[in-house]
Structure 1
Amino acid sequence: MSTLAHRYDLAPEDRDVADRILRKRVSEDGLKNVIKRLGTAFQAHMTARMQTLSPDLVMAFETMSDPSRPGKPPAGNAETAGFTFYYPEERCRLALHLDRQAAGLVNGALLGCDPEADMPPSAGEISQLEIGVLHSLAVAAGQTRQTDRPLLGFGRVDIYRGDDPALIDETGDAVATLSFSITFGVNRAWCWLDVPHRLLIDLSATLAADEARAAHANQRHEFKVPDFDLAVEVILPLAEMTLAEVARLKPGDVIESAPAAGGDAVLRAKGRDLFTTQIGRVGHANAVRIQGPIAPIAAALRAHAHQHTIKGGQ
């Protein structure tokens, strides 16, 4: 049995299914990587969306245990709130649970409280007014970008009080719970994101397939240049001189470079100009810095790469 299937306390028949899926589709390490990627992506997404409403609100994915972190609140509690994030296919959803302190902190931030002042402890049931304020965050959180897919391509985001039946998950899916902190200036609270186990497996398989396709594409576009020694030389164009001026040259004379060269020299191999360069020194040694390929050579390199791509595709 995989440790992952055991950790989520699946029923025996579900453990067998999970083990077979893990062996066939994704590795357990791959699944852990997806959890980390999902947590960091969700953190970045929510922080960006929160800060459109309050610039001092920040969410952080907490991977390490913290003794000061409270436990996830029980389901059906009127002193909690929950956001539901639905994927377009609505095959499953993510649920972000806020305890009383987190809901109060976010409400205070959205209502313009001072981030440098300690917020008083929140208590009692969450009011419909507070849910209404949190609705603005639900609207912002649903504004995902194309680059967020497939991890965060939500179809819609809703907000409910913890005792609302709409927040109850009736699918029976086993979930992984990711912990996040929410900070607003000097204030800090906690929230928890429930991610269905089967969604993690789907995302693992999707991302693994995407990475495999990207790796295959990179291999097709790579081409190798034969490795052999080649004599190269650097040519510095000089100002034009008459034959008489050349005849009068003697040791110690200084010849200016051609005005059009602008101080640039040319790196040449086998009689062909390849790159423009700049002459200088590195320590006590003379050296040249490559400035860029000469236009015909750049075109030839692109053509060579294109031909290799065509052959690789065949």
Structure 2
Amino acid sequence: MTMASVGTPAETRDYILERLVGETGEPERVTSAARSMGERAIARIAEGLANSLAISLEVDVKRVDLTRFADARPKPASHAAVTVAASVSSPDALMMVVDAGALSLVVSTVFGADPDMPVTPLERDPSPIEIEVATSVFTEVATALNGHGPRALDIKFPLPAPVSGPDLKKLSMRDTPAVRIVFSLTSRAGSGEVAVVMPQRVLLKHRADGIAEGGGAAQNAWGARFGEQVMRSNVEVVATMPIAQMTLGELSTLAIGQVVPFDDGAQANVRLAARDKTLFTCEFGRVGQNLSVRVREPFETGHDIIDGLLPANRA
């Protein structure tokens, strides 16, 4: 997500917090919420595959780990199929990846291959028929994870068509903290993986057991966590001291090595700023061998405007 694509003030705030904080929240609690979500979806995924594709596979949560959304995109040479599902609250609520082994296993099972013959993972990009099968798999996984009621992810169906190979590079991915749930699909013929990657903010908004549903105390805890992390962020501080008023003609004649005297009182009017925002008015000085500034008072924009008008009034 770029700043240009951020919409409401709330989305802007969430975007800035993600950029400042990095990994969102406490890792153990994020992975615990994701694992609970995945384990609750296992039976629904297996049932959905049986109903839509008439196949019976064992489904399990293989692992849950933290990642960043953009880093979870597979390489084009992996022959995996990928889709990114939007929800009401997020343009990338779920990124789903079916690897070459799982896609080959599902396709062979759908088309009646011998269940006792080992399945070889794809060694090429998926064909249109295999992409169609991948769409069905993604639809069942997204439906199982979507849920219902106030905790629903509100995924938008139908899902976008999966992409693979060189087209993976064209997927627009924002760099945001995410969590990955890896489901294993297994039969006697082989196994493969379907990975679901969610922005941590989306997970915690909808499904954070004991976090999002914990009431005011939990919300306050998250607020304190964000505040603590933001307060530790490094910010460049710039002190600026005015030197003198000059005409454009005088400015055009400045040369290397020329000495420009300070105005009277310049050392007492140093501006201390961070990220182009003036914070304090300071005094310039020295502590031992080091130049320094001493904070005098908070900077007030109104005073700055009045000071700018005074020379004209005196004229």
TM-score by length of 1: 0.50
Q: Which has the larger radius of gyration?
A: 1
TM-score by length of 2: 0.49
Specify which structure has the bigger relative contact order, considering alpha-carbon pairs within 8 angstroms and separated by 6 or more residues.
2
